[in-house]
Structure 1
Amino acid sequence: MTAQPHESGYRRTPEEIRASLRDDRSPRAIRAALPVEDLDAFDRQYREALQKAGDELDLTPLHECVETWWRHAVLKAEPTEYDRMIDRAEEIRRRADLGEPTSGVPWDETFETRLRSSAQKGR
């Protein structure tokens, strides 16, 4: 896959990226909207999903991969906002792990959810 912006060195604005993704959810458009550091992971996961879909004669893995990466591209359209969101999520997770209150959701519900998740993962 070689989808690239039309002009070398030109970085589209977050609004342009989001608008392009509203109009086109194709793998090519998603890849063109992703930051360079995500391209290898996208390529690998897309090819794996494509292979799995072919092997199983079921397009679900491919649709899930494309949807996941579409959301990722939309979120990463604004790198600073994306970094803030990740930092906030990590802080909420840290507080939930310690049993501290997290904003918006009662701490006991958050803590219970984290315990269930950990138990299901075998941790």
Structure 2
Amino acid sequence: MTAQPHEPGHGRTPEEIRASLRNDRSPRAIRAALPVEDLDAFDRQYREALRKAGDDLDLAPLHECVESWWRHAVLKADRVEYARMIDRAEEIQRRADLGEPTGGVLWDEAFEARLRSRAQKGQ
């Protein structure tokens, strides 16, 4: 199964799109799974990564580009859930900018808790 574009009315569910991307992480499958509004950016970034990989004789930029766009395609497979996620992130950022509690855990506290847990397990 390969990914197909998911324009409105295309008929593929987010689960079908994500399943196709689990089975095929090729640039072609990723591009086919992206919303139409992301195609130009994908094409531009993919071609730039190809050029850089060729110039530097290093495939890392290409792998990073493909991985990044694969995650993007998986996230955007469900447009409604993606929009909700963005709204939640913007609200959390707004609250953080105002100095309001965001409901998250401070990095230092999370790191300390992780260290304590590892120490207790003898790691």
Q: Matches of 2:80 and 2:100 in 1, distance apart?
A: 27
Pairwise CA distance, 1:12: 1.4
Give runs of aligned pairs for residues 58-69 of structure 1, distance below 5 A: 58-69=58-69
Q: Verify the 8 A CA contact 1:53 1:60 in the aligned structure 2.
A: yes
- What is the aligned-residue RMSD (CA, Å)? 2.0
Alignment-derived partner of residue 17 in structure 1: 17
TM-score (norm 1): 0.77
Q: 2:97 is aligned with what amino acid? A: D
- Does 1:43 pair with 2:43? yes
Q: Matches of 1:75 and 1:89 in 2, distance apart?
A: 14
Q: Matches of 1:107 and 1:4 in 2, distance apart?
A: 39
Moved >3 Å (runs of 4+): 106-109
Give runs of aligned pairs for residues 1-123 of structure 1, distance below 5 A: 5=5, 10-106=10-106
Please say which of residues 75-84 and 90-99 is displaced more in the overlay.
Answer: 90-99
Pairwise CA distance, 1:107: 9.3
Q: Matches of 1:60 and 1:38 in 2, distance apart?
A: 22
TM-score (norm 2): 0.77
Q: 1:61 is aligned with what amino acid? A: P
Q: Matches of 2:54 and 2:34 in 1, distance apart?
A: 25
Q: 1:90 is aligned with what amino acid? A: E
Pairwise CA distance, 1:21: 0.3
Where structure 2 has 5 or more consecutive residues not aligned to the other structure, the ranges are 110-123
Q: How many residues align?
A: 104
